[in-house]
Amino acid sequence: TPSAFDKWVRQSRTRGSFEEKDNRTPEQEELIRLRKENQKLAMENDILKQAALIMGRK
């Protein structure tokens, strides 16, 4: 659409790239980083729960 094309042209002129990752706002970057960190912490928590169950059986 014309509006999408205009948006791409503006992004290219202001940031020099059409790539989505190059055109994210700082808030979007922080949200992505926090989601990844949250996922990692949840995985570590699951591992520790499993280890506690295994140790409790002995």
pLDDT at 14: 72
Q: What are phi and psi of 13, to 5 degrees?
A: -70, -40
The domain ranges of the chain are 26-57
Residue numbers of the chain with a pLDDT score lower than 50: none
Please tell me the pTM assigned to this model. Answer: 0.60
Cα atoms in the Cβ-side hemisphere of radius 13 Å centred on 41: 6
pLDDT at 39: 98
**Would you call 32 helix, strand, or coil by DSSP?**
helix
